[in-house]
Amino acid sequence: MDERQKNILKEIVEGYIKEAKPVGSKALCEKFNCSSATIRNEMAYLEKLGYIEKNHISSGRIPSEVGYRYYVENLMKPKELNGEDMLKLQTLFSNQNLAVSDAIEACLEIISDITNYTSISLGKESELNTLKQISIIPLMDNKLVALVCTDKGIVKNKQFTLQNNIDLNEVIKTCEIVNKMLIGTPITMISERLEYEIKPIISKQIQQYETVYNIFYEAFNDFVNNRENFHVAGKSKILEQPEYNDTNEIKRLITKLEDENTIRKIEKKDGNNNISIYIGSETDFDDNVTIIKTNYEFRGEEGTIAIIGPKRMEYDRVVGVLNILNRWLEEKGD
């Protein structure tokens, strides 16, 4: 392609992204100050190359998947965020008190608001976490919460109902013993140390030690066996796009967005933390969407953040948002 053909393709892609309407030769004539015959010839050439295609209900042209792919690889430049959007992210990034999982979840909500697309995080805490503290929080009706915190900022909780013959003070005393002996222990080694080091001690000090022991065993076991994080924000936003105004199409997409196994196909690793773009049939999710994602490693947690939208996605804006997110994760993860 020569320079004019590239610019015409860029105009067709960005015009269709903005208006959701096929781009006709008349608008391009005015833009490039060319005759209609010249523009039609250029469009015919781009169509022959497979970069654009004719829309069935209009004489205009829309980008093909090949055209979108050429655009994102050769013509697109990431867009800078406006001040309001930047402030939303900076406010989140400056909050030092958020746990990692909460920070990622809050970030998803902001990204979804900024882009008007659906955002997803698929994460898994690494095995490098060590115990920072376990806390016992009494609730009403003989209930309590065991709160497990790691040195990487991961926080998980599990609720229990105490049997009537169990003294809450004995649970709290056991918690103090666990913290005194196991802080700094890798999470994956906690169960073994509970069995061989903690249990013999509490058996001599706690009356119903088996029941009390099981509370801590289950809390840690639940932490180790449920390290998967899965969050979806703005699920309905993708359905607000004009591409998805058909009832059957809406049902099909909603079904996929609610199926965790289908969503997890997005998690396929690319071997780096760069931003990856999958358009239509390139995705393992759906032929009628684009997925832009990035992998991350942050304070002991690793995973994928992905944005799902129509193929007519504002690629430059989404990539701009993810670039900022990546920079923040790198800075905070050091």
pLDDT at 27: 86
pLDDT tens figures, 275-318: 999 999 999 888 999 999 998 876 666 788 999 999 999 999 99
* Cα separation values, 214 from 109, 140, 174, 209, 219, Å: 37, 20, 11, 8, 8
Q: Which has the higher per-residue pLDDT, 186 or 224?
A: 186
pLDDT at 329: 75
**Which residues, 6 or more positions from 287, have their beta carbon under 8 angstroms from its beta carbon?**
280, 281
Tokens of 260: 């965790």
Cβ–Cβ < 8 Å for 178, 209 = no
Residue 273 — pLDDT band, cuts 50, 70, 90?
low
pLDDT at 272: 60
pLDDT at 332: 66
What percent of the chain is modeled with pLDDT above 70? 91
Residue 124 — pLDDT band, cuts 50, 70, 90?
low
pLDDT tens figures, 31-72: 898 898 999 999 999 999 999 998 776 678 999 999 999 999
**CA-angle at 178, arms to 174 and 179, nearest 5°:** 120
Domains and CATH numbers, the chain: 3-75 (1.10.10.10), 83-117+234-333 (3.30.450.40), 131-225 (3.30.390)
pLDDT at 299: 64
Torsion-angle region of 234 (φ positive above 0: left; ψ -120 to 50: alpha; else: beta): left
CA dihedral in degrees (189, 187, 191, 182; nearest 10)? Answer: 90
Once rounded to an integer, what is the mean pLDDT over residues 158-173? 90
pLDDT at 247: 85
pLDDT at 60: 85
| 126, pLDDT greater than 70 | no
Once rounded to an integer, what is the mean pLDDT over residues 59-88? 91
Q: Which has the higher per-residue pLDDT, 57 or 103?
A: 103
d(CA 243, CA 221): 45
Once rounded to an integer, what is the mean pLDDT over residues 95-118? 81
Q: 3-class DSSP state for residue 309?
A: strand
pLDDT at 30: 86
Once rounded to an integer, what is the mean pLDDT over residues 113-125? 85
CA gyration radius, the chain: 27
| 99, pLDDT greater than 80 | no
Cβ–Cβ < 8 Å for 306, 120 = yes
| 118, pLDDT greater than 90 | yes
d(CA 126, CA 217): 20
d(CA 279, CA 310): 9
What percent of the chain is modeled with pLDDT above 90? 47
